[in-house]
Structure 1
């Protein structure tokens, strides 16, 4: 029954994709209810798996259907273990409340059917990734997540000016379609590298099955280590995928532009699905490389943990610093997500630094994933309400919104305090667990980097909250209030309800924080040490938790106090400080331009590639011109005559003729399929997938 629940959990959202167009024929209200209902069913199935965590000795559970048996055995199955249960609940439950919020937020949108189909496909793809039992199916879910994110980030693909992000004037803007393409391309770079790592690992292990990879590690890891540098290469390739999907340095520049989609899409990407997939996959790979170093004695395996930890620390610092000066509300929260994912990566990385840190680092990274999902979902949903109310994406266009949005102020305030790390909210406990694991790794530089990131987080969080809800009304808000039939107010009831439930969950989860942390320690000790038989030493912490709490709270105060004086109490003038200090202006410009990393990427990969392409095209044209002029009599044809004739008669004539015959013979059928609507393509893909699964099941 438990395995069947796992199957149903990932299938229900895909069914929602299929039935949405049919429900739309009845009415929009029925379609809305149906789309949310299937996400609700997925959440219920995930919650029914949760009790298995209290009987960890019964895990893992696996069920699979064989797709191919020769020459490569590929199966489609589900794996139910502590990690997949926890992440599946995060995905399904948080996504359900986001879907409830969408009922109010997307009301009246002409693309609502396409939106519901993409949202359910997004949820289903992420659950497929999390619950799959082998790397091929994980990769299929991985790519589907990327495809759905492309459709949702570029949801407003007509690029109407009101949906542009970036700016404000005179700074440049980005269109939704360009943002979607950027996200898809950047993440695909990491995806292809990761696929290479998976295939190399299969070459040595002879299996894609996750449990078999763990169990046969004593056989294939030493064989891989016999080729110098191979384990380092595989480590880099496997890490590249999570680095891209979770927007970690150096593939982090796509996520700030992912804010071009609707508000709930940002919440789904940042809190429950896409960026968490990279953290999940790193956690999946940890037992393999931990065994390689601490049991098999392969020194190269340690590079996996070093790379993950340093990428996480650098990203946490870099993204938090960019959040200090940003003005777009959702972009500030995006920088926050990048930074907080860095915390998770850091914790998972230090898990391999010593034997006694395996369970602590693994549990700390997973704990922060859980707490971050809850408060970040609440933050983005509240941000959507604020942006709708204020009719602006910039926090300097807001101010004194507390009296207009009292519920949103309360809910977003609780989520912001959790992001900052104020006790007893969950962000404090999970961040403290990450700090403790990092300090016990005895890598002081890593610890100091993440501690400075805590200070930055406290500052920019207090800054955006103060500029939005406190102080004086901005000129923009005053103008909005003067417009007829236009007033700043709370969102629809589904929006307020979803935000309220998430805020209540933050408080409850925070009060249970210590118990959850110790429960995770016990749970992962069973999974990683006993079930997988990894040699490890479970020692008493070498650092007192009280010291970590003092350092954590002290860092929060260092960031909060000046931000409070600048943006809430308004006793200090931030504009005066900026105008009177050349150093502050230079630092502000450096951070505003995102360390110039994005500009460098655009120059190298966009302008550089385009420039190289033009140069090559010119060289080829000159070479062809010279060759043809030598072979043909002057004045008979010449290059222009031959090239024009070849282009028009040869290429265009052939293609036009072929198109004419195809159109006459099969155009009617193809036109009904190739109609340019992504929801139809998505439905067709899901139908084919379900048919294949059904045939396999029956056979």
Structure 2
């Protein structure tokens, strides 16, 4: 399967081609080139998946393949950094997810971004983003993953700030870049700790028996009450929490909506935000073997984040921000699913399979939601729900596909979200009834705020528009229909047969009790949303908003977490730490160096007369010096 290297090469070559020569091409030609390149990448990814998953298992397990690998940097006899392609069930699954969503975004952008200044630059950045995410999921070692991890951050910075003349877009891109850099420092420290004790960066060696013995010995060494391996894995999750927008690093994601809407679909569905989930899944055997307490803490972080962001989504009025907080909540579901695993066995590791399954289904219907939102914004030229209403009459394709995605994320059978979310809830109940009921409640909130969004857009009171809204062109509606079709059938994929915690086939069993409860909660939430928002007069929401004004205001302002971050950075870090350091640097360090320069200059001016060039003066100084030496010798002898 050496051809898989072209999955990496084609996007980066297209990035270089469009970046260097795109300005000389017609915008449509640049878009077609980028789209064809991603189409080839998608075909190669599907071919890889078919070839990999149809290959015979060895001892009931899909084998890990490394069709391409070269040594890049060597530090010691055993420690070196390689660049290559790593194929196992989750990396192959991610190839399908990333290539599918990216390809649909490329097609969709041909219509959505038509006429935009910098069209070729946009497609160049899309290719770079895809290359970065492909390199991340195909990494053979944790340092290669880190390299592409940072490249994903750079790519997101470029795309979020695509409208570089818009101050809010500039601020959002910087915010995303800086916040994730804070978290990525933890990831780097975790890599260094793990590689120091494991003496390798390679995933296969870290999971092997030899390295496991070394890590078990190192796990006996403690720091502040925890093993150093647990600290390393915990710090690595810190990086994942930043990329996947877990609390409190979630603040960058809603502002990332300042980028073009297709970019939002790419970031939220298949690339940046799922990187943290993929990281925990990739290191899953180490978490289970050496840091089960860290894994449990990860579950609680994910649960709180899911509840926190779902609550905020219930009151947002910008449709893209509703979807942004929805993404944070759904990523929380995936993190919880990984955190509630208690072992490598397929039943103990049910959450692992459920997390990857939900990552797959969520990528499709969340991309559909964002692209549908882009179609709506394209029609009404606004992100605010107050400027919408009654659009089902004007945009039938967008309406139906958006409704399918809403039903899927709400967990209504037979849509794909029902099957993956049911497995997460089953795993959560198995771990702790408290976590199980909490996630069931969050699932109900999800159904509520998504149908609040749906009714405000397509039903309710029709807003006045300068131009009559119309359906988007085929180049934009085709990706909607394609993703809607996947959303309809993806739940029936025997996902457990392909991806599981220990590589063995797992037949998904529907937990009737959990499924019945979750469906009832979802249906009840949809009914409540229908009563609240179906009609133009939204008297009940307005009454509740006034009655619970404090909670409503706090949720509208995202519970003031952004303000807390600003206080910490400006009042604490900048004023109490950075300012004293700057004063010390300016007055002590610079002052000392300036003193050295001044004293040297003054001394040189004082003694420059000795270099007059007059022989008589030199003879006089020589004579005085000789006399001083003679007198000194006579006195001390």
Normalising by the residue count of structure 1, what TM-score does the alignment of the two structures yield? 0.79
Distance 2:234 2:587 in 1: 41
1:609 aligns with 2:573: yes
In the superposition, relative to structure 1, how do residues 70 and 225 fare at CA in structure 2: closer, same or farther (>3 Å)?
closer
Q: Which has the larger displacement, 262-271 or 8-17?
A: 8-17
In 2, Cα distance between equivalents of 1:227 and 1:509:
45
User: Distance between the aligned counterparts of 2:10 and 2:194, measured in 1?
Assistant: 32
State how far apart, in whole Å, the 1-side matches of 2:366 and 2:376 are: 15
Change (3 A) 1:199 1:623: closer
Contact 1:267 1:377 survives alignment (8 Å): yes
Partner in structure 2 of residue 340 of structure 1:
330
Cα distance change of structure 1 residues 399 and 203 upon mapping to structure 2, 3 Å threshold: same
The Cα shift of 1:85 comes to 0.2
Judge which range, 324-333 or 211-220, deviates more: 211-220
Aligned to 2:497: 519
Q: Could you tell me which runs of 5 or more consecutive residues in structure 2 were left unpaired when the two chains were aligned.
A: 599-637
Query: C-alpha deviations, 1:256-315, integer Å up to 9, x for none?
Result: 1110000000000001100111111110111122233xxxxxxxx212211211111111
Q: Distance in 2 between matches of 1:606 and 1:140?
A: 30
Describe the superposition over 1:580-622 as per-residue Cα deviations: whole angstroms up to 9, x where unpaired: 52xx211101211212212111111134434347853896699
Return the alpha-carbon distance in structure 2 between the equivalents of residues 460 and 553 of structure 1.
Answer: 16
Q: What is the rounded CA distance, in whole Å, between the counterparts of 2:507 and 2:4 in structure 1?
A: 35
> Take 1:359 and 1:286, find their aligned partners in 2: how far apart are those partners?
10
Distance 1:325 1:44 in 2: 41
Q: State the 1:574 CA deviation.
A: 3.1
Contact 2:73–2:82, Cα closer than 8 Å, also in 1? yes
Structure 1 residues 127 and 70: CA distance shift in structure 2, 3 A: same
Q: Is the 8 A contact 2:496 2:507 kept in 1?
A: no
Q: Distance in 2 between matches of 1:248 and 1:333?
A: 15
C-alpha separation in 2, matches of 1:269 and 1:99: 13
**1:504 equivalent in structure 2:** 485
The equivalent position to 1:90 in structure 2, one of 94, 97, 121, is: 97
Distance 2:414 2:121 in 1: 41
Please tell me whether residue 487 in structure 1 is matched to residue 468 in structure 2. yes
Instruction: Tell me the residue number matched to 2:119.
Output: 112
Contact 1:398 1:468 in 2 (8 A): yes
Q: Is the 8 A contact 1:24 1:113 kept in 2?
A: yes
If the length of structure 2 is used for normalisation, what is the TM-score? Answer: 0.86
Pick the aligned partner of 1:558 from 506, 524, 543.
524
Residue equivalent to 1:10: 8
Residues 424, 68 of structure 1: alpha-carbon distance in 2 compared, 3 angstrom cutoff: same
Which residue of structure 2 lines up, in the alignment, with residue 69 of structure 1?
74
How far apart, in 2, do the equivalents of 1:46 and 1:579 lie? 48
Are residue 100 (structure 1) and residue 107 (structure 2) matched? Answer: yes
Structure 2 Cα separation of the partners of residues 354 and 208 of structure 1: 22
Change (3 A) 1:618 1:437: closer
Instruction: Specify the structure having the higher radius of gyration (Cα).
Output: 2
Correspondence 1:418-567 to 2 at 5 A: 418-441=408-431, 443-474=432-463, 478=464, 480=465, 483=466, 486-510=467-491, 512=492, 515-520=493-498, 523-524=499-500, 527=503, 545-567=511-533
Measure the CA separation in 2 of the matches of 1:623 and 1:128: 46
Question: Are positions 1:185 and 2:149 aligned together?
Answer: no
1:571 CA drift (Å): 7.4
Q: Which residue of 2 aligns with 1:659?
A: none
For the Cα contact (< 8 Å) 1:6–1:80, is it kept in 2? no
- 1:70 CA drift (Å): 4.2
Q: Which moved more, 1:591-600 or 1:463-472?
A: 591-600
> For the Cα contact (< 8 Å) 1:267–1:381, is it kept in 2?
yes
Check if 1:134 corresponds to 2:110.
no
CA distance in 2: counterparts of 1:26 and 1:553, whole angstroms: 52
The answer on whether the counterparts of 1:15 and 1:38 sit within 8 Å (CA) in structure 2 is no
User: Which residue pairs with 1:585 in the alignment?
Assistant: 549
What is the RMSD computed on CA atoms of the aligned residues? 2.4
Does structure 1 residue 316 correspond to structure 2 residue 282?
no
Q: 1:622 to 1:7 in 2, by over 3 A?
A: closer
Q: 2:23 matched to 1:47?
A: no
Establish whether residue 379 from structure 1 lines up as the match of residue 383 from structure 2.
Answer: no
Distance 1:618 1:75 in 2: 40
For structure 1, the 5+ residue unaligned runs are 161-174, 293-300, 531-537, 632-641, 643-699
Whether the 8 Å CA contact 2:295–2:340 is kept in 1: the answer is yes
Deviates more, 1:206-215 or 1:607-616: 607-616
Shift of 1:526: 5.6
Please, which of 252, 255, 272 is the counterpart of residue 253 of structure 2?
A: 255
Q: 2:161·2:172 contact (CA, 8 Å) conserved in 1?
A: yes
**Residue 396 of structure 1: CA displacement?**
1.9
The secondary structure found in structure 2 opposite 1:322 is helix
Report the equivalent of 1:60. Answer: 64
Alpha carbons 1:134, 1:210 under 8 Å: kept: yes
Q: CA deviation at 1:507?
A: 1.1
CA 578–421 in structure 1, closer or farther in 2 if over 3 Å, else same: same
Q: 2:468 and 2:538 mapped to 1: Cα distance?
A: 31
With over 3 angstroms needed to count, the CA separation of the structure-2 counterparts of 1:410 and 1:205, relative to structure 1, is: same
| Distance in 2 separating the partners of 1:622 and 1:278 | 40
For the 8 Å contact 1:279–1:345, the answer to whether it is kept is yes
Which of 193, 197, 203 is the matching residue for 1:204? 197
Cα distance change, pair 323–61 in 1 and its aligned pair in 2 (3 A): same
Equivalents in 2 of 1:334, 1:246: separation in Å?
12
- What secondary structure, in the 3-state scheme, does the structure 2 residue paired with 1:91 have? helix
Q: Distance in 1 between matches of 2:90 and 2:202?
A: 16
Q: 1:383 to 1:250 in 2, by over 3 A?
A: same
**Partner of residue 617, structure 2:** none
1:34-57 CA-partner distances (Å, limit 9, x unpaired): 011111111111100112113343
Offset at residue 232 of structure 1 (A): 2.8
- 1:569, CA displacement in angstroms? 4.1
